[in-house]
Chains A and B, each alone.
Chain A
Amino acid sequence: MRSVVISGVGRLRPEPTATHNEAPSAGSGAHRVQFDPVSLLGRKFTRYRHRATQLAAVACEMALKDAGLKIDDENRLSVGITIGTTVGSFASTVDFCMDTHTQARPYLVDAASFPNTVLNATAAGLAIRTGIRGANATVAAGPLAGIAALRQAQVSLNAGHVGVVVAGAVEEQTLDEAWWHASAGHEGVRGEGAAMFVMEHRQTAALAGRSARAELLAAVVRAGDTIDSRFLVRTLETAMRISRSDPRDLISVHARRTGSDDVDRAQIAALSAVTRRAPQWDEEVLGDCLSAHAALQTAQLVESLSDGQGRSRSTGLVLAVDPAGAVGVAVLRAGRAEEES
């Protein structure tokens, strides 16, 4: 397997203070990203695009800039985009559907907003924004979205569909989302954000003069019963085996509380069977960012690995569990080329 590296990172993290608590059904407020989409992206782009697309577009441009990757006629066909999501934009679907109930005729909806109800609106919007015309993918993976996006990008790179992928995940947080999660019985503070990564084979990055911030050693997504800690242990062990790294080299381990006590007990038990490193949940900083949670944690991990914390063979792990029946694990290592075997 050829080495896949991350050569650029862009992320928008939420601010704990930026809550909305206008409606009693909106739960206990939310951590939102403070940004001005119009000044960053322009009125034309933002006008018909939902918040998730706006967040991802800013993160995408930050990642491209961080990597020093300029999209032009030479490379636009061989660069891809992968976006991880849960439902796209729930708020957009609410807005769009509202017209079917309130207008004089149910079909008198806002046609220009129709694509916003579709899962791939963000990935499509980013392609238009950046001019990236290679394989464009959307993975719907809920809390696993960040890891599933890395995995899909890795498969796409290894199969030779694209030479570079800008991959990551996004979650938006509005009153509609807050209402949805309150309805679903999800407790805790909601969050939002986006993290995008420029991913490519190490050789591609080296030829282009881009430096590897981190190496993706493993991205594993498996279906199974998440109450069963043995299944979680098996998946963690699979990821460690694929990564060919020693659990003792893990300098940080990130995970997300799922809201199910049984599942959370199982993931804590599974992590402690594999590593002595205590997991960071990051909720106090992020809230629960659902599909962006693992992506934002991965961005944080890349930063700590590339900041030279620990040794050159230091690794980090992100675990994401979906109580609906799936687990994702990403293992990354500091990006130094001399570490490549």
Chain B
Amino acid sequence: MIGGPTRPRRVVVTGLGPVSSVGIGVSEFSASIRAGRSGIGPIRSFDTSGFEYTYAGEVPDFDPRALLERIDPAAWGRSAQFAAAAARLALRDAGLEEAHEAAVVMGTTCGESAALAELVRMRHAPEGPAGDTATASQVPASRLALAAAAELGSHGETLTLGTACSAGNYAVGYGYDLISAGETNTAVVGGADSVARYIHAGFHRLGALADTVCRPFDADRDGILTAEGGVALVLEDLDSARERGARIYAEVRGYGMTCDASHAVAPDAESIARCVQIAHARAEVKADQVDYICAHGTGTRTNDKVETEAMRAVFGPVLPPMSSIKSMLGHTMGAASGFGAVACVLGIAEGFLPPTATLAAIDSELAPLDPVAGVGRPADVRIAQNNGFAFGGNNAITVFGKVEP
């Protein structure tokens, strides 16, 4: 059994910064999630000629200049801009003006995929031997956290975690570890990824893309929709947050990580169940205390089946309400579990269950299951669990709880 040391410091969430296809900023995002609004549309960021599947969850309204205060967006790639904008929004939402000492931790699947795709296009272009210097300089994935740190003026610890589609949870967890160990008082954590042609092609080829609607847990689900965005949460130690009179959304109770070590892309129910058990043990919660599960819920046949099976292995036949916000956002990759964390935290703070917006008829193979179909449902959420799985079997699950005033 892997157990943590005694944790003298509690960690709370005091700021949220979503930059998503269903809203930029916490109030817009929260209203959209409650209403079950979709952020999916025809792809605009690349030429979809020749593709059979042409929908994604882009953020066409993203204007980095309107959000960023310190860094020049032109010097950074799209994913770094998402990360920095999300960090700025989260800091503002936390009522903090500066974050000189804050740790800045971002997760991602493909890093600067849009810049990479552009650079590779140049590599194959017949007209020239060299790529554009600015684009070539923008591709290191490390720049996601560096952009966010520069935007916040942080001189604190910084890290970009490249653990694919659970990277948002890894980032939340890393920030939590730093604060609970007393290494920092504040951490701005989250994730970012961008829609890119080659990633769309990869999922297309795997047969994992949905036509126009992502329908997690539905009998007719046909896959994911690629998507993008940036998300950040401000984490603080409880005492400092209370001292400065911060609004506290929820507490990070703990998290767990496991690795399947079996297949590059297929999920593994046993390894996921073990991840849930570790997360619960470290968060000191029992399965029957969990009021809500924010599912990884990609909407592929395999994921939703394996995920449900893994949850049953821990919770027994009756699961808590379990929904997928990917029904609205699509799969935002490295940002996905960061958005899941925001959904959990809002559910706890505002008293609702985020919905699986697109569900028409539940897959009988997954039943009985309460996927919170349609729109958000009022509920007292005291403990929420946020699932994140990934290529390479990188599982990470975070647990959030209500903080009594």
Contact = CB atoms under 8 A, between A and B. Distances in A.
Interface stretch (A118-126, A275-283, A294-302, A303-311): A118-126
A-side interface size class:
35 or more
A109 B392 contact: no
B139 interface: yes
B393 interface: yes
Scoring A93, A108, A185 by chain B CB atoms within 10 A of each residue's CB, the highest score goes to A93
Contacts of B375: none
A224 B142 contact: no
25 contacts: A76-B261, A77-B2, A80-B257, A86-B140, A87-B111, A94-B120, A94-B123, A101-B124, A107-B52, A118-B109, A132-B261, A133-B260, A134-B2, A135-B257, A139-B161, A140-B161, A141-B159, A144-B142, A152-B161, A156-B177, A158-B181, A222-B156, A222-B158, A224-B155, A325-B150
Contacts of B131: 179-180, 183-184
A156 B159 CA distance: 14
A181 B123 CA distance: 12
A208 interface: no
A119 B162 contact: yes
A127 B120 contact: no
Closest 9 CB pairs of A and B: A124-B392, A119-B162, A183-B131, A223-B149, A140-B141, A136-B259, A184-B136, A107-B204, A135-B257
Given A133-B259, A180-B131, A221-B158, 10 more contacts: A111-B205, A111-B206, A115-B264, A119-B109, A128-B261, A134-B258, A136-B261, A136-B394, A161-B2, A223-B104
Contact of A141 (B110, B123, B160): B160
A185 B131 CA distance: 10
A247 B109 CA distance: 39
A66 interface: no
| Interface SS of chain B | mixed
Interface in A51-103: 76-78, 80-81, 85-88, 90, 93-94, 96-102
Interface in B316-364: none
A93 B162 CA distance: 15
Nearest to A107: B204
Given A25-B130, A117-B110, A155-B181, A107 B392 contact: no
B261 A131 contact: yes
B205 A120 contact: no
A133 B258 contact: yes
A202 to B, nearest CB: 16
A96 B278 CA distance: 36
Nearest to A159: B177
Contact of A140 (B50, B108, B130): B108
B146 A326 contact: yes
B199 A117 contact: yes
B271 A133 contact: yes
A118 B161 contact: no
B381 interface: no
Contact of A106 (B116, B130, B197, B261): B197
Interface string A254-284: 0000000000000000000000000000000
B220 interface: no
B225 interface: no
A85 B177 CA distance: 22
Interface in A309-341: 322, 324-326
Contact of B201 (A100, A131, A156, A176): A100
B116 A93 contact: yes
Given A120-B164, A140-B141, A184-B136, A324 B146 contact: yes
Contacts of A110: 205
Given A159-B4, A183-B130, A324 B143 contact: yes
Interface string B239-265: 000000000000000001111111111
B139 A180 contact: yes
B162 A115 contact: no
A324 B161 CA distance: 17
A160 interface: yes
Given A120-B394, A131-B261, A221-B159, A176 B123 contact: yes
Nearest to A104: B50
A277 to B, nearest CB: 25
Given A97-B198, A180-B136, A87 B206 contact: no
